[in-house]
């Protein structure tokens, strides 16, 4: 009986061209630990996590991110966006279809990524001509375990 289940499992993998993409290690839910932006010769540790929390959810075809403040006062911060994505072995492309900062919408961001244990590091160029944004963005994220 075990042999039959194993054989059926192997046959499913062979027939499903998306099998390898379904098991990519980048797929999951991530919490931002740190962010660095580099513009020209200036390097800045961005304050995404100071009194805020950011999570990113990635599946085979889409991604979403949410950032909110951790305060109790009247200064509320909420940023969200998402859209389609393409995932390769070490390359990850985001098509930002939705964002509450509308000037960021309809832009494409390409990242190289590396995963070590439960840590994801992404590096790419964020360029939005209408906002005069053009910098390297490096983010370090930790996998959220269920």
Q: Answer yes or no: is 44 within a domain.
A: yes
Share of the chain above pLDDT 90, in %: 68
pTM: 0.80
Q: Answer yes or no: is 105 within a domain.
A: yes
The CATH number of residue 50's host domain is: 2.40.128.490
> At 80, is the pLDDT very low, low, confident or very high (cuts 50, 70, 90)?
very high
Instruction: Indicate if the pLDDT at residue 7 is higher than 50.
Output: no
CA separation for the pair 85, 37 (Å, rounded):
22
Instruction: Indicate if the pLDDT at residue 3 is higher than 50.
Output: no
Q: Answer yes or no: is 93 within a domain.
A: yes
pLDDT (tens digit, 9 = 90+) per residue, 134-146?
999 999 999 998 7
Say if strands 91-99 and 28-39 run parallel, antiparallel, or are unpaired: unpaired
Q: Answer yes or no: is 98 within a domain.
A: yes
Backbone torsions φ then ψ of 60, nearest 5 degrees:
-60, -30
Q: Provide the domain limits for residue 89.
A: 24-143
Q: How many domains in the chain?
A: 1
Q: Answer yes or no: is 37 within a domain.
A: yes
Instruction: Indicate if the pLDDT at residue 31 is higher than 60.
Output: yes
Q: Answer yes or no: is 125 within a domain.
A: yes
CA separation for the pair 83, 105 (Å, rounded):
9
């Amino acid at each position: 009986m075990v042999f039959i289940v194993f054989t059926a499992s192997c046959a499913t993998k062979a027939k499903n061209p998306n099998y390898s993409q379904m098991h990519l290690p980048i797929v999951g839910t991530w919490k931002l630990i740190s962010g660095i932006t580099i513009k020209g010769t200036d390097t800045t540790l961005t304050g995404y996590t100071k009194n805020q929390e950011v999570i990113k959810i990635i599946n085979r075809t889409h991604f979403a991110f949410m950032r909110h403040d951790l305060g109790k006062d009247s200064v509320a911060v909420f940023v969200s966006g998402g859209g389609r994505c393409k995932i390769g072995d070490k390359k990850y492309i985001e098509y930002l279809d939705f964002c509450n900062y509308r000037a960021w919408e309809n832009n494409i961001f390409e990242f190289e990524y590396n995963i070590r244990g439960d840590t994801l590091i992404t590096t790419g160029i964020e360029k939005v001509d209408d906002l005069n944004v053009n910098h390297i963005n490096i983010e370090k994220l930790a996998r959220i375990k269920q």
